[in-house]
């Protein structure tokens, strides 16, 4: 079966973390025997106009671990014009499609990721190419209520045009039905893939001779709740303490978080790791004791699933996705935006670290989030769509 994947955003290279879970799913499909290609238009903010790295708008083609991948960057020239950047994105996508069809042939199924803008474009391709479309929605924009009316209209049209609609968590599916309408559903739940690089059949034993390490790995922005985490950490483990907090990532509030750590008198026990490339995350998970997800909302919560695949227990907020990832024996769940309850959960988890069965955590995660597990669900969905189209 020939699958064409059209993501709304995608890694610019294997080292790029933006949209890495899209690439992981593509690689998983390829590993399970599907013929897969990728078309990845990329809009560049005008803020980067003076950056030498971002001046080229030329097409780029590569074979990424066996996956023919077509990319093209273009300036996002019309951010304030309704449908403006959509028309630009669509133009780039259509240009790449022409080349793809000439070199790779017509796909059997188009799988678009996120309605804005891939799902909307895939809906048009469905009509012109007579190829069924699967739409998976990932965006947190619905929960944050930041889409404009024209964007919701575009997303609604994309959902209606799709042959099958997937949400990466049940709450997101419910939210999509509320905001896009019943005729733009139903939405079935299929989780994101966790790459095999995270899996440890025999997770590393705890090192009692060193400090205990908690890890938060996310974009540093208000929606990720790191300020709540710092407050909760300070309340759970006041000085002196042998517990450290490692925060990986970067973002607009990094400076503010560093200052807050100092003001809470935990600056010496909070390490800011900076950006962590995707291929270094599994190694990082091998030297920490607990993953903490403090987000205010997540459509899935891929770092929680990655941690579990590595046998690392998780403390996470019930913010839309993690409550469908973290099960009994995997860790603890707390309400979002509650530093006090987060503090209690962190303290309890640390006190119970030796009681977590890390091998069992990893095995459960593999059964739910591995490539074979998720691709098995997707493959049945693809086959059902194609069988329905047979005369």
Sign of CA pseudo-dihedral 155, 159, 161, 165: positive
- Which tokens hold the place of 144? 């944050």
Which domains, from first to last, does the chain contain? 2-193+370-389 (3.40.50.2000), 196-369 (3.40.50.2000)
Q: How far apart are CA 163 and CA 33, in angstroms?
A: 23
Strands in the chain per DSSP E: 2-7, 35-44, 59-64, 67-75, 109-113, 133-137, 164-167, 188-189, 212-217, 243-248, 270-274, 290-293, 314-317, 331-334
- Which tokens hold the place of 20? 């890495």
Residues 6 or more apart in contact with residue 26 via CB below 8 angstroms: 5, 36, 38, 67
Q: How far apart are CA 348 and CA 330, in angstroms?
A: 13
Number of residues that make up the chain: 391
Q: How far apart are CA 27 and CA 14, in angstroms?
A: 11
| pLDDT value at residue 185 | 80
| pLDDT value at residue 14 | 81
User: Is the distance from CB of 320 to CB of 298 less than 8 angstroms?
Assistant: yes
Nearest Cα to Cα of residue 187 among 198, 200, 201, 173 = 173
- Which tokens hold the place of 205? 């034993």
| pLDDT value at residue 207 | 57
DSSP 136-203: EE--SHHHHT---HHHHHHHHHHHHH-SEEEESSHHHHHHHHHHH-GGG---EE-PPP--GGG--SSP
| pLDDT value at residue 55 | 47
Predicted TM-score (pTM) of this structure: 0.91
CB-count burial class (<10 Å; 0-12, 13-18, 19+) for 53: exposed
For every one of its 391 residues, what pLDDT tens digit does the chain have, with 9 covering 90 and above?
999 999 999 999 888 888 999 999 999 999 999 999 999 999 887 665 545 455 456 789 999 999 999 999 999 888 878 899 999 999 999 999 999 999 999 999 999 999 999 999 999 999 999 999 999 999 999 999 999 999 999 999 999 999 999 999 999 999 999 999 988 989 999 999 999 999 987 776 665 668 999 999 999 999 999 999 999 999 999 999 999 999 999 999 999 999 999 999 999 999 999 999 989 999 999 999 999 999 999 999 999 999 999 999 999 999 999 999 999 999 999 999 999 999 999 999 999 999 999 999 999 999 999 999 999 999 999 999 999 876 5
| pLDDT value at residue 46 | 65
- Residue 302: in which H helix or E strand, if any? helix 302-309
CA dihedral 336→292→217→176, nearest 10 degrees, is -40
Nearest Cα to Cα of residue 231 among 342, 117, 360 = 342
Q: How far apart are CA 163 and CA 132, in angstroms?
A: 6
């Amino acid at each position: 079966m020939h699958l064409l994947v059209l993501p709304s955003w995608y890694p610019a290279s294997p080292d790029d973390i933006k949209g890495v879970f899209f690439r992981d799913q593509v690689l998983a499909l390829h590993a399970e025997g599907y013929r897969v290609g990728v078309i990845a238009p990329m809009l560049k903010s005008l803020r980067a106009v003076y950056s030498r790295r971002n001046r080229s708008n030329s097409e780029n083609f590569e074979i990424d671990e066996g996956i023919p991948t077509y990319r093209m960057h273009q300036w996002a020239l019309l951010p304030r014009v309704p449908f403006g950047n959509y028309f630009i994105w669509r133009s780039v996508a259509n240009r790449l499609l022409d080349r793809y069809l000439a070199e790779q042939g017509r796909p059997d199924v188009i799988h678009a990721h996120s309605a804005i803008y891939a799902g909307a474009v895939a809906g048009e391709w469905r009509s012109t190419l007579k190829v069924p479309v699967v739409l998976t929605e990932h965006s947190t924009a619905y929960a944050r209520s930041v889409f404009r009316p024209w964007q919701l209209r575009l997303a609604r049209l994309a959902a209606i045009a799709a042959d099958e609609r997937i949400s990466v968590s049940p709450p997101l599916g419910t939210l999509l039905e509320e905001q896009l309408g019943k005729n733009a559903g139903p939405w079935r739940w299929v989780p994101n893939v966790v790459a095999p690089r995270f899996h440890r059949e025999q997770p590393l034993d705890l090192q009692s001779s060193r400090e205990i390490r908690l890890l938060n790995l996310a974009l540093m922005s208000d929606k990720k709740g790191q300020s709540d985490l710092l407050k909760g950490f300070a309340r759970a483990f006041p000085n002196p303490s042998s517990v450290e907090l490692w925060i990986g990532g970067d973002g607009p509030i990094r400076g503010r978080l560093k200052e807050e750590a100092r003001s809470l008198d935990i600056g010496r026990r909070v390490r800011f790791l900076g950006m962590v490339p995707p291929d270094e995350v599994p190694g990082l998970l091998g030297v920490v004791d607990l993953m903490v997800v403090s987000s205010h909302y997540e459509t899935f919560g891929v770092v929680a699933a990655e941690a579990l695949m590595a046998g690392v227990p998780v403390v996470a907020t019930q913010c839309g996705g993690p409550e469908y990832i973290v099960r009994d024996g995997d860790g603890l769940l707390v309400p979002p935006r509650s530093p006090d309850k987060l503090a209690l959960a962190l303290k309890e988890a640390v006190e119970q670290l030796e009681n977590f069965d890390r091998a069992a955590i990893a095995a459960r995660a593999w059964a739910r989030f591995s490539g074979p597990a998720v691709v098995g669900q997707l493959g049945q969905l693809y086959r059902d769509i194609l069988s329905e189209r047979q005369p």
